[in-house]
Amino acid sequence: MRIATWPFVLSLFLFGTTAIHGASDENELIGHPEIKCNADTIDMQFKTKKQFSGKVYVKGSFNRPECRVDYSSHDKDGRPLGGIKLNHGACNMDRQRMIAPEGMMFSTILIISFHPLFLTRMDKAYHIKCMYKEAARTVTAAIDVRMQYFLNFYTILVLSNLPTESVSSNLAMPTCSYTIRKDQLDGPILRYAKVGDQVVHRWQCDSEEYGVLVHSCYVEDGQGEKQMIVDERGCHTDHLLLGDPTYVEALNMAYRESFVFKFADRIAVRFQCEIRLCLKDDGGCDGITPPLCLYKGPPLDEEIEAKMRKKRSKTFKPRDADMFSQTVYVMDQDGDESTMHEQLRDGESVCFTPTLFTSIVSSVTLLLVFLTSVVGFLAYKRYFSDKSINVVKSFF
């Protein structure tokens, strides 16, 4: 009986070890996802170690069926592949006009989640960016063949009597940024705040040759809802949220003090603005920036405005670009600093993934079974030992 009991205990131990090993044998990505920036769509494909049965979705748009792909609800023929394809602008995708380099950028954040219900440590988030550069466009005009020779000849005659001077303009386009600072203009970039905290919105371009106009600003909640706070002229729409931007003398930076606010039942806000660049040389920014915010006052005289447009067209054609601030996570205003710290401490609690929790439960169960088996074996051994002694005594 002693020989037969130990294999039983050993088999229990091996079974538990195998269960723990199987629980730790999780699915995972192989390499990096493959991104394709198509003409009208963005396509992401990836490979996994085992058959993928999770989901892929756009951050902040999980509840929209067109913004996620669920691989747990149907068979994928056993292939360990996954992916998602999104149309440009779909699912709150960012659309950003760029000036350096010039073109259009589409960007979004995609989540690859291996568990059908929960986020686990195996999940990955990817910030996808597709840049579409504008192709150079050449404009040609047809000229009567009989006039072409005359025009060329006439040009040569005129230029031959003038000093030749080579003129070129290679001004680099500036790099611009939009940040929200804590307390003051040069304060740290804000990530977390409470409703009512003082902040400074800062728009800046790293160039002394260009001026900037901030206009068409929106605040958004990251889930598709947004509200205009600065109109297309560059003037505020609600001074309780954000006032008119203040411009520095060099016109390459604007700023505005404000207080933190957020949408109801939302935890994050982000701001989007358009900027218009103008070349300051020869009055190229006159009439563009700073804006005349007289609050829906009468428009400029048509003759003055026409002169400004004519003057600007000789120097530099203004260019528009899109800018996004960082995302700020906002807590409700409760007036109790200790409550805020308590919430932060609560956020530091330890969370277990389903796999890890299963492993811990399996280990504890295995240990209890093992100890029970040992106790049972020792009791069984002692029982037969006492019985053998009694048999010997009765024999004598």
Q: Tell me: the pLDDT tens digits for 15-61? A: 444 444 444 467 888 888 999 999 899 999 998 888 888 899 999 88
What is the rounded CA–CA span in Å between residue 268 and residue 252? 29
Q: Looking at residue 245, what is its pLDDT? A: 96
Strands 68-70 and 94-99: unpaired
pLDDT above 70: residue 374: yes
Confidence of residue 240 (pLDDT cuts 50, 70, 90): very high
Across 205-210, average pLDDT: 91
Q: Looking at residue 6, what is its pLDDT? A: 43
Strands 210-220 and 268-279: antiparallel
When the pLDDT of each residue in the chain is averaged and rounded to a whole number, the result is 75
Tokens matching residue 234: 């560059």
CB atoms within 10 A of CB 241: 16
pLDDT above 60: residue 146: no
Confidence of residue 128 (pLDDT cuts 50, 70, 90): very high
Instruction: Output the furthest CA–CA distance in the chain (Å, rounded).
Output: 145
pLDDT above 80: residue 225: yes
Confidence of residue 325 (pLDDT cuts 50, 70, 90): very high
Q: Looking at residue 339, what is its pLDDT? A: 47
Note if the bond before 290 is cis, omega within 30 degrees: yes
Note if the bond before 101 is cis, omega within 30 degrees: yes
Please identify, in words, the CATH class of the domain defined by 27-159. mainly beta
**Mind giving me the DSSP string for 278-336?**
EE-GGGTTTTTSS---SSS-PPPPHHHHHHHHHHHHHH---EEEEEEPPPEEEEPP-S-
Q: Looking at residue 385, what is its pLDDT? A: 66
This prediction has a pTM of 0.63
What is the rounded CA–CA span in Å between residue 88 and residue 253? 31
Residue ranges of alpha helices (H) inside 132-224 are 145-160
Q: Looking at residue 393, what is its pLDDT? A: 52
Nearest to 363 by CA among 3, 15, 1: 15
Question: What end-to-end distance do the CA atoms of the chain give, in Å?
Answer: 26
Q: Looking at residue 349, what is its pLDDT? A: 46
Confidence of residue 214 (pLDDT cuts 50, 70, 90): very high
Q: Looking at residue 188, what is its pLDDT? A: 96
Instruction: List, for residues 151-179, the tens digit of each pLDDT value.
Output: 333 333 333 333 333 333 456 788 999 99
Q: Looking at residue 151, what is its pLDDT? A: 33
Q: What share of the chain is helix, strand, coil (3-state, %, to 5)?
A: 30, 30, 40
**Domains in the chain: boundaries:** 27-159, 172-346, 361-396
Question: Any idea which fold 172-346 has?
Answer: Immunoglobulin-like (2.60.40)
Q: Looking at residue 147, what is its pLDDT? A: 34
